[in-house]
Amino acid sequence: MRFRPTPAMIALFTDFGLAGPYTGQVKAVLQREAPNLPVIDLFADAPMRNPKAAAYLLAAYGVWFPAGTVLLAVVDPGVGGERAALIVEADGRLYVGPENGLFELVCRRAQKVQLREITWRPPLLSASFHGRDLFAPVAAMLARGEMPPSQSRPAAFGRYPDWPDDLAEIVYIDHYGNAMTGLRAASLPAAATLLAGGRPIPRAHTFASVAAGTPLWYENSNGLAEIAVNLGRADEALGLRIGSAVAVEG
């Protein structure tokens, strides 16, 4: 596997949250093992225990980073189980995390993909925190330009071909109450209406395009169709949560 020896940064994509010790311990390992590289908190609140929903977010937001970035991506409800540990190189970016579908959309949309299964194990590996004990040290190794012990895997390894290219569900709700879908806006008709929470939601260019309190959907800054309410919370107004279905009309 070819990779840049000096990546621009390490980006964290996890469901660990900012409360409690988990994100802090992961960042402490990265600081210890790769002290000269910036660590970026991309998502600490990825869809909890939901690799499928998280996969559509990771694919949309990962490509915003330059080639050479190491993305430490951990949404791992099967930690300590049979799932493998992976390094994925996709269009020059390196992703480290569990083999549970989290990298499905990253791999599917990339022009060039290589997969490796991590065979290295640290001297001390807890049963329940591979993000700290396994994936963070491996991400640091890659950031230093080193390849940990690993073996090549075929491109189909750990793939989920039955997952749709675009997911007609809510995959994330931000702190404004805006609800991101797993649909790329470019895949939708220009005049499409989304149906969510029992209501039709027209497309608008941005929040200020509609009156206060009015629902809209728009193409967000990373290309996903996002549902919002101008000066309000779409999650509360429409009863949306992660996993809520979205239909497309028009």
Domain edges within the chain: 10-153, 167-249
Mean pLDDT of the chain: 96
250 pLDDT band, cuts 50/70/90, is: confident
pLDDT value for 13: 98
Per-residue pLDDT, averaged over 52-67, amounts to: 97
Task: Answer yes or no: are the C-beta atoms of 226 and 178 closer than 8 Å.
Answer: yes
Checking if the pLDDT of 3 tops 80, the result is: no
Q: The CATH number of 167-249 is which of 3.40.50.360, 3.60.15.10, 2.40.30.90, 3.40.190.10?
A: 2.40.30.90
* Residue 135 three-state SS: helix
Per-residue pLDDT, averaged over 83-102, amounts to: 97
Per-residue pLDDT, averaged over 171-187, amounts to: 98
pLDDT value for 149: 97
pTM of the predicted protein model = 0.95
Positive or negative torsion for Cα 119, 110, 66, 226:
negative
With a pLDDT cut of 70, the percent of the chain lying above it is 97
Buried b (16+ CB within 10 A) or exposed e, 16-33: beeeeebbebbbebbeeb
pLDDT value for 94: 97
Checking if the pLDDT of 6 tops 60, the result is: no
* Residue 70 three-state SS: strand
Task: Answer yes or no: are the C-beta atoms of 207 and 217 closer than 8 Å.
Answer: no
Checking if the pLDDT of 237 tops 80, the result is: yes
- Chain centroid offset of residue 153 CA: 22
With a pLDDT cut of 90, the percent of the chain lying above it is 96
Q: The CATH number of 10-153 is which of 3.40.50.10790, 3.40.50.2300, 1.10.3720.10, 3.30.450.20?
A: 3.40.50.10790
pLDDT value for 8: 76
Q: How many C-beta atoms surround the C-beta of residue 233 within 10 A?
A: 17
Checking if the pLDDT of 1 tops 90, the result is: no
Given strand 247-249, what is the order of strands in its sheet?
199-201, 193-196, 247-249
Checking if the pLDDT of 127 tops 70, the result is: yes
Checking if the pLDDT of 2 tops 70, the result is: no
pLDDT value for 45: 98
